[in-house]
Structure 1
């Protein structure tokens, strides 16, 4: 069962999502056209490597769309609070609604989000309880696609044999170096940024769990 569709009316967020989509589109169009297909014709790469690039690219854009449009955990109006959980709820001083603890109010979205991590302008959505795993998927697939792109850019100039047959009348091949330099720059920025973000997200998830395990272990030692 899918998550409810959720849109945020934020022009700045739409611009950020548009930038990410254009970077994805740029590499999805030019990397196969400049590297994969010509190298495949000369026997330097296999069809499996082409399919792997397109599949990774598809997973990347699908995860972007899902993370951008999934409900992050928006609190409904007049939520029903079980009697046994009233002590774990508090009043939001911005929207004057009761919310569970560890929820936060997002000024861009205009409502409270359960276990809100942050508002990410690059997906134009909050990262909360219900879509955190989708955000991690996006980070992971973006790392894969960016890393794959950087490897292909490197191999094209420093590992593969020189091209034998190139149609130099085509615009893209006359500007191959400039186009691939742009691709390399975007790949480095995206790969570095996603690695840092993915690392901080995973550490943030694992640290509370590790503290709970450590505390339980200390209690067991004391009781023993």
Structure 2
């Protein structure tokens, strides 16, 4: 199943996504010049350490781009409702379209999304049934890259041997301390924020509850029984090779559960 493209025209979302790309570019450009390449040339670190950093950074930006353009589960204008599921669809009071229960209308995107979790300005897209796994993948690689960057910053200042050859004609070495501090500050902000977000997302999957339902205290469907966490994980990560969900190039085979089964089993 190919990845369906979904593009949102939102200047605020473009600005937020631009900030994320700026942080990624800053660490990808300056960390190797300040830490990785100099210490590799003096044989303080191995080539594997350098290549792993670039690999994680590459996976991080691929996950960001895929999550930002993936269709979150947008409902078509004239959805085909199975006869056996008509009682489990409802009318949206904002766009006057039929939608399955647990869908939500996004005011920024202007349409309803199946099992919408929230609209994320940092990817300029909704997080819904079809791209939730990509959003979790982005959180995973962002957390990994931030941790890797903070570890390199710490080792450069307190663990690695001092560099013997320093070219003071290069800008990055003249402003080494300031760049390291900026990298550490951004790494801490990203790590703390993403860790909290990643935790809430995983607990939501375990409890079969979206972020919107948490905010609404499930007042509209408080009696809805919760599905087993194995089923919710299969719905989010796909039915095949769930253990390989972190590979940013794979395609997910979705698990389509009838809405009457999802709401009453």
Same fold, TM-score > 0.5, yes or no: yes
TM-score (norm 2): 0.79
SS at match of 2:119: strand
Q: Which residue of 2 aligns with 1:124?
A: 124
Q: How does 1:4-43 map to 2 (within 5 A)?
A: 4-43=4-43
Q: Which residue of 2 aligns with 1:172?
A: 172
Distance (Å, rounded) in 2 between the aligned partners of 1:84 and 1:185: 54
Please give the per-residue CA displacement for 1:20-60, whole angstroms capped at 9, x wherever unaligned. 00100010000001000000011111000011000000000
Deviation larger for 169-178 or 105-114: 169-178
Q: How does 1:1-224 map to 2 (within 5 A)?
A: 1-208=1-208, 211-213=226-228
Aligned residues: 214
TM-score (norm 1): 0.93
1:162 deviates by 1.0
Please give the per-residue CA displacement for 1:138-158, whole angstroms capped at 9, x wherever unaligned. 000000000000000000000
Please give the per-residue CA displacement for 1:154-182, whole angstroms capped at 9, x wherever unaligned. 00000111111100121110100001110
Name the one with the larger helix percent: 1
- 5+ long unaligned stretches in structure 2: 210-224, 230-265
Superposed CA RMSD in Å reads 1.4
Please give the per-residue CA displacement for 1:68-120, whole angstroms capped at 9, x wherever unaligned. 00000000011110110011100000000000000000000000000000000
Distance (Å, rounded) in 1 between the aligned partners of 2:43 and 2:35: 12
1:2 deviates by 2.2
Distance (Å, rounded) in 1 between the aligned partners of 2:196 and 2:114: 24
Distance (Å, rounded) in 1 between the aligned partners of 2:226 and 2:101: 19
Moved over 6 A (4+): none
1:125 deviates by 0.2
- 5+ long unaligned stretches in structure 1: 215-224
Deviation larger for 163-172 or 92-101: 163-172
Distance (Å, rounded) in 2 between the aligned partners of 1:208 and 1:173: 50
SS at match of 2:95: coil
Distance (Å, rounded) in 2 between the aligned partners of 1:186 and 1:2: 35
